[in-house]
């Protein structure tokens, strides 16, 4: 993502989805997790406890269910605790981490009534797609990130492993223009980076134990990286967003 070096942020945010207490109404969300923002500022939200994906147009006061919303379950028309969502523009579809069903599913983006399973037997939390259409998915059961090229069902491990590069509780993942993989290593309280083709990862944020110091993270979740290599991470346990410049020892 492109962010100017001198960018400043307001300290008070603006609600772009939900904000009307928790519930299952069209203007409500319940424990939302991952999201995707399209080029026209449409927001797709994994509305976890409502077992649905909700689309919120820019400046809308309510959302539209585009996947799930038929109660929890493992039917093709259902989701069960979805945790992340992305849009595949080439096929005009949405791809979802259907976490409690142990699968990744694809739904039509428009007027879809059911989805198809594209990856099975995976405890996924986060996913993202690169410009080539390859899908990167965190596998919390096997403590790794796998890349699936179009049409693949097995995938290739691109992050995780043994020793200092092991990850424990991978949540969300980001892939930059050079195909380096960044993953929130939640139980190790850090963000790890794997350069394309690397066998070992490096720590780029946190890794100093759990705490609220500027050197620490507590249960990191969503992560994005700008063109300068600056890491932005949701520090869930500390209720804050942290920015770590490239090479910095604290955020």
Each residue of 5-18: pLDDT tens digit? 788 888 888 888 89
User: Which of these three, 121, 138, 165, is where a domain ends?
Assistant: 121
Identify the CATH number of the domain in which residue 220 sits. Answer: 2.120.10.30
Identify the CATH number of the domain in which residue 92 sits. Answer: 2.40.10.500
Asked whether residue 105 falls in the same domain as residue 199, the answer is no
212 phi-psi bin (left φ>0, alpha ψ -120 to 50, beta other): alpha
Asked whether residue 205 falls in the same domain as residue 86, the answer is no
Asked whether residue 176 falls in the same domain as residue 109, the answer is no
Rounded mean pLDDT, 135-153: 93
Asked whether residue 45 falls in the same domain as residue 133, the answer is no
DSSP classification of residue 219: S
The torsion of the CA quartet 220, 98, 149, 40, rounded to 10 degrees, works out to -80
Of 157, 221, 158, the closest CA to residue 186 belongs to 221
Q: CA 20, CA 25: separation in Å to the nearest integer?
A: 9
Instruction: Name the domain count of the chain.
Output: 2
Q: What percent of the chain has pLDDT over 90?
A: 81
pLDDT for 2 equals: 84
Yes or no: say if 159 and 127 are a contact pair by the CB < 8 Å rule: no
Task: Please check the confidence at residue 55 and state whether its pLDDT lies above 90.
Answer: yes
Does residue 5 sit within a domain?
no
User: Which of these three, 101, 121, 141, is where a domain ends?
Assistant: 121
Give the pLDDT confidence of 69-116 residue by residue, as tens digits. 999 999 999 999 999 999 999 999 999 999 999 999 999 998 889 999
Which residue range(s) make up the domain with 221? 125-251
Asked whether residue 105 falls in the same domain as residue 154, the answer is no
Distances in Å between the Cα of 117 and the Cα atoms of 46, 54, 80, 111 are: 17, 19, 13, 18
Asked whether residue 165 falls in the same domain as residue 202, the answer is yes
Residue-wise burial string across 189-214, b where 16 or more C-beta atoms lie within 10 A, e elsewhere: bbbbbbeeeeeebeebbbbbeeeeee
Asked whether residue 102 falls in the same domain as residue 144, the answer is no
Please tell me the number of Cα atoms within 13 Å of 236 on its side-chain side: 15
Does residue 42 sit within a domain?
yes
Does residue 12 sit within a domain?
no
Does residue 13 sit within a domain?
no
Does residue 232 sit within a domain?
yes
Asked whether residue 217 falls in the same domain as residue 243, the answer is yes
pLDDT for 1 equals: 80
Average pLDDT, whole number, for the chain? Answer: 93
Does residue 176 sit within a domain?
yes
| Other C-beta atoms lying within 10 Å of the C-beta of residue 145 | 28
Asked whether residue 145 falls in the same domain as residue 190, the answer is yes
Query: Which pTM value belongs to this model?
Result: 0.94
The torsion of the CA quartet 157, 163, 168, 172, rounded to 10 degrees, works out to -50
How would residue 154 be classed by pLDDT, with cut points 50, 70 and 90?
confident
pLDDT for 16 equals: 87
Q: Give the contacts of 111 (CB within 8 A, at least 6 positions apart).
A: none
What the block records as the tokens of 239 is 């209720």
Task: Please check the confidence at residue 46 and state whether its pLDDT lies above 90.
Answer: yes
Asked whether residue 198 falls in the same domain as residue 246, the answer is yes
pLDDT for 162 equals: 64
Q: CA 251, CA 226: separation in Å to the nearest integer?
A: 15
Yes or no: say if 202 and 185 are a contact pair by the CB < 8 Å rule: no
Does residue 14 sit within a domain?
no
User: Which of these three, 71, 88, 121, is where a domain ends?
Assistant: 121
Give the pLDDT confidence of 106-136 residue by residue, as tens digits. 999 988 899 999 999 999 999 999 999 999 9
Does residue 9 sit within a domain?
no
Q: CA 105, CA 231: separation in Å to the nearest integer?
A: 28
Asked whether residue 141 falls in the same domain as residue 108, the answer is no
Asked whether residue 84 falls in the same domain as residue 141, the answer is no
Task: Please check the confidence at residue 164 and state whether its pLDDT lies above 60.
Answer: no
């Amino acid at each position: 993502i492109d962010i100017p070096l001198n960018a400043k942020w307001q300290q008070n945010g603006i609600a772009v989805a939900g904000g009307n207490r928790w519930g299952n109404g069209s203007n409500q969300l319940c424990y939302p997790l991952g999201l995707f923002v399209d080029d026209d500022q449409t927001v797709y939200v994994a509305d976890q406890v409502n077992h649905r994906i909700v689309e919120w147009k820019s400046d809308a006061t309510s959302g539209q269910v585009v996947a799930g919303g038929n109660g929890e379950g493992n039917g093709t028309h259902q989701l069960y605790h979805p945790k992340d969502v992305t849009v595949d523009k080439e096929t005009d579809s949405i791809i979802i981490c259907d976490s409690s069903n142990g699968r990744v599913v694809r739904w039509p983006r428009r007027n879809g009534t059911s989805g198809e399973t594209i990856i099975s037997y995976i405890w996924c939390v986060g996913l993202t797609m690169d410009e080539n259409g390859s899908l990167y998915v965190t596998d919390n059961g096997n403590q790794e990130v796998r890349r699936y090229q179009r049409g693949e069902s097995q995938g290739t491990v691109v992050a995780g492993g043994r020793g200092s590069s092991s990850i424990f509780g991978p949540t969300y993942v980001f892939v930059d223009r050079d195909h380096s993989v960044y993953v929130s290593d939640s139980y190790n309280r850090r963000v790890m980076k794997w350069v394309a083709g690397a066998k070992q990862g490096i720590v780029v944020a946190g890794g100093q134990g759990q705490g609220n110091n500027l050197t620490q993270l507590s249960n990191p979740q969503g992560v994005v990286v700008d063109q300068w290599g600056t890491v932005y991470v949701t520090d869930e346990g500390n209720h804050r967003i942290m920015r770590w410049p490239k090479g910095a020892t604290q955020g």
